[in-house]
Amino acid sequence: MEAMYYMGEAERRQKMGGMTLKAMNWYLQAAEQGDPYAMLRLFQGGACVAGDECPEDAEGWREKALAETLPRAEAGDTDAMLALYHIYRLMDDSGEGVEWLEKAAEAGNPEAQTRLGMNISGGQGWYFLESRRLEAAEEWFRKAAEQGYVPAMSSLSDVLEKLDKHDQAWRWKVRASDNGHVDDRLTLGWCYLNPEELNKETSVDVCSNKRDVMKGWAILTALKRGIELRAAERVLEWNEGELNDRQKNKAEAMFDEWLNKQPPLSNFPPRFGF
């Protein structure tokens, strides 16, 4: 079911968010098995109107998602609680949705904890000081990160940087990279290759490591060749003169280690994002 939903997402995203016949077919298969996010995509894509694909037992896909998800949430299913956050938002009842999001986060769902942390850091709730807002977001990100949820590791690192907790931020950035986060792997490589350059570029002390140009070159080369990451290619071009031929040869010997590093790299897109 989840794979069917993500196949729909892949097809839809290739068309810049527009619904396609292939995407709709994947969403329909996932929805038939009860996936609420597939139902919401069918609602957003106008499947009932454009494709004449409507649920037989509900007014529409959004209503069907609510009818099937609410009982599971009330029974304690935290994934269903999180889904209700998105369902109620599409029903223009964000207050009810936030309540379910908070319930899911408090019950220990790492995805919900991360979403709540992002909402807080983005302006949800009232905090007298910006530092207190960041600390509140940090608390939720840390709960999720300590459960091994990779997007939370990355978000935790970012908020720790803003709180000037640079050593902690670096440790979580390394951990996110080790677990396959593309952006943090890029940062890791750049920090090893030329930390002063990146710190200047971001105006934040992102890099709390000792410089290792060969390691950085190997990491960025693996990103360039392995997933054709344009950002890694640019950083390599900017720093072409930082290594001599002997160092580049040694870096090349380290290349396979980073190219084949597990788990596989991912951008970790949100389950129900753009």
Look at residue 59 in the predicted model and tell me its pLDDT.
Answer: 81
Neighbours of 227 (CB within 10 A): 16
Look at residue 51 in the predicted model and tell me its pLDDT.
Answer: 63
| Structural domains in the chain plus CATH codes | 2-107 (1.25.40), 180-259 (no CATH)
Residue count of the chain: 274
pLDDT means per 10 residues, the chain with 274 residues, are 95 84 94 96 88 80 96 98 97 93 98 97 89 96 98 97 95 98 98 93 88 96 97 96 94 94 94 88
Look at residue 2 in the predicted model and tell me its pLDDT.
Answer: 94
Look at residue 273 in the predicted model and tell me its pLDDT.
Answer: 85
Rounded to whole angstroms, how far apart are CA atoms 170 and 184?
Answer: 10
Look at residue 17 in the predicted model and tell me its pLDDT.
Answer: 67
Could you check whether the bond before residue 263 is cis, i.e. omega within 30 degrees of 0?
Answer: yes
Compute φ and ψ for 181, nearest 5 degrees.
-75, 120
Look at residue 274 in the predicted model and tell me its pLDDT.
Answer: 81
pTM of the entire predicted model: 0.92
CB-hemisphere CA count at 13 Å for 19? Answer: 21
Both tokens assigned to 195 = 């930390």
Compute φ and ψ for 72, nearest 5 degrees.
-70, -40
